[in-house]
Structure 1
């Protein structure tokens, strides 16, 4: 598989992953390009069995390098417009719900956040997430379980506050 085919197959997945990490459209686009540049450099010298997991790992490291270089937390939250065949109200509510979920995910510890983004939002297998994050598979499962429990509690709290207010 050459780089053009890899790009076509995985560019959207990498963009969504990097957008969920950075929460910024322009940063995600830049990081996608950086990830594919790094992939291009390493592709000839590295033996790759699972190209998708390897690309996500390259993208994750590009994001880590980016945040270290800038030494700041990316605060802006934007969710790209999703093309749906729904009413504007439903679209707004879905986007708002997704924003709240992203806020909940980003309030977790770093390891829990990273595992949930990979396994739940991007449908990675546990082993793929473990390879990307350089963790043992049982550690990934532990972080995933703890993170999910925390998010469920946050959603329950928000729901009960909403019901009390309404």
Structure 2
């Protein structure tokens, strides 16, 4: 990949990567940092990454970076991120979107990731497998389980009322 293709990748993919990471971590600042780190990593690997694989590389790199950060936060605690996450959430019930957001929040990280990539970002099973490091069968199983959980969660009367 050359400099022009790298700049094209920044223009074409940065919003998608940011949206994906922001939905996962619920922190604007963390998502911005992770996207920036991912593009830095792409720049370091620019000679080895083809433009056609840049999007998958960015999603994969940002996903793994986010997992590392969240694991570190869970292990050591990060008091600064609590305020960021609180401001991103809506305290009042306003509709189905909030029910879906709360259902997504209750999913295990792997299931949440594959559902977001499939249903929100419209990736194929094969692309999701490349991004997450799972095989296609695992991706399909995780998506099925996540959708089944969300379906049951939405049917609960205490959630809707």
Range into which the TM-score falls when normalised by the shorter chain: 0.7 to 0.9
- What is the match of residue 19 of structure 1? 22
1:110 aligns with 2:137: no
Q: Is the 8 A contact 1:79 1:99 kept in 2?
A: no
Deviation at 1:3, TM superposition (A): 1.6
- SS of aligned partner of 1:2: helix
TM-score, normalization by structure 1 = 0.78
Distance 1:2 1:149, change over 3 A: same
Deviation at 1:51, TM superposition (A): 2.2
Runs of at least 5 residues in structure 1 that lack an aligned partner in the other structure: 81-91
Distance 1:56 1:121 in 2: 14
TM-score, normalization by structure 2 = 0.80
Runs of at least 5 residues in structure 2 that lack an aligned partner in the other structure: none
Distance 1:48 1:137, change over 3 A: farther
Distance 1:153 1:138 in 2: 23
- What is the match of residue 133 of structure 1? 132
Deviation at 1:4, TM superposition (A): 1.2
Distance 1:100 1:9, change over 3 A: same
The aligned length equals: 149
How do 1:89-104 and structure 2 match up within 5 A?
93=94, 97-104=96-103
Q: Is the 8 A contact 1:35 1:58 kept in 2?
A: yes
Distance 1:68 1:139, change over 3 A: same
1:56 aligns with 2:51: no
- SS of aligned partner of 2:45: helix
Q: Is the 8 A contact 1:57 1:133 kept in 2?
A: yes
Residue 37 of structure 2, aligned match among 7, 30, 34 = 34
